[in-house]
């Protein structure tokens, strides 16, 4: 029972950590939106309605995913790291780092899935896989042609 209680406290601490980490950015966005609104008011009367704000709730999936990542990271670090070796400060730094790795893995999975679904590669301009194969074949043919010309030039000497 004590292990379950410890795990529940780690889950709660991880959720609080994730919520706090996101709330700082939401507060900064709210302040930025407020100052943009004040600047819009100082510009004078306008026929357009001011519609920039944080009321759209587009941030909710990001907050929920960050909380899931933080709880998972907290459980992983508390499970696999020895209790007596590291201070709690460094342990929570490791939890933050693991959740950042989780964000990196999330972005990599999204970009990878999109790349596989559309069969495109993000190298400067996006082009099709067949186009990539044609470019490789063209480069090979050009290299072979250069090698044949050099061979003929050496044979003539």
Angle at 85 between CA 81 and CA 87, to 5 degrees: 95
Identify the residue with better confidence: 105 or 156.
105
The rounded distance, in Å, linking the Cα atoms of 92 and 34 is 32
In three-state secondary structure terms, 125 is strand
pLDDT at residue 62 greater than cutoff 80: yes
pLDDT at residue 44 greater than cutoff 80: no
Identify the residue with better confidence: 76 or 47.
76
pLDDT confidence of residue 52: 62
pLDDT confidence of residue 130: 59
Highest mean pLDDT among 6-15, 50-59, 116-125, 145-154: 6-15
pLDDT interval class at 55 (50, 70, 90)? low
User: What count of other Cβ atoms lies within 10 Å of the Cβ of residue 26?
Assistant: 14
Report the half-sphere exposure of 114 (CA within 13 A, side-chain side). 9
139-149 pLDDT, tens digit each: 777 777 777 77
pLDDT confidence of residue 81: 74
Both tokens assigned to 152: 């003929």
1-11 pLDDT, tens digit each: 687 887 888 88
Q: What is the dihedral of CA 36, 39, 44, 50, to 10 degrees?
A: 10
* 120 DSSP β-pair partners: 128
């Amino acid at each position: 029972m004590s292990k379950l209680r410890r795990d529940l406290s780690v889950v709660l601490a991880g959720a609080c950590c994730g919520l706090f980490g996101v709330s700082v950015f939401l507060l900064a966005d709210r302040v930025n939106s407020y100052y943009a609104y004040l600047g819009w008011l100082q510009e004078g009367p306008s026929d357009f309605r001011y519609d920039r704000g944080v009321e759209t709730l587009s941030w909710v999936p990001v907050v929920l995913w960050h909380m899931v990542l933080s709880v998972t990271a907290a459980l992983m670090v508390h499970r696999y790291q020895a209790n007596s070796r590291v201070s709690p400060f460094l342990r929570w730094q490791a939890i933050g780092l693991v959740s950042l790795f989780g964000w990196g893995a999330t972005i990599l999975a999204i970009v990878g899935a999109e790349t596989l679904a559309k069969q495109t590669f993000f190298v400067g301009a996006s082009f099709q896989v067949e186009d990539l194969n044609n470019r490789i074949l063209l480069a090979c043919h050009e290299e072979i042609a250069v090698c044949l010309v050099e061979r003929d030039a050496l044979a003539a000497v």
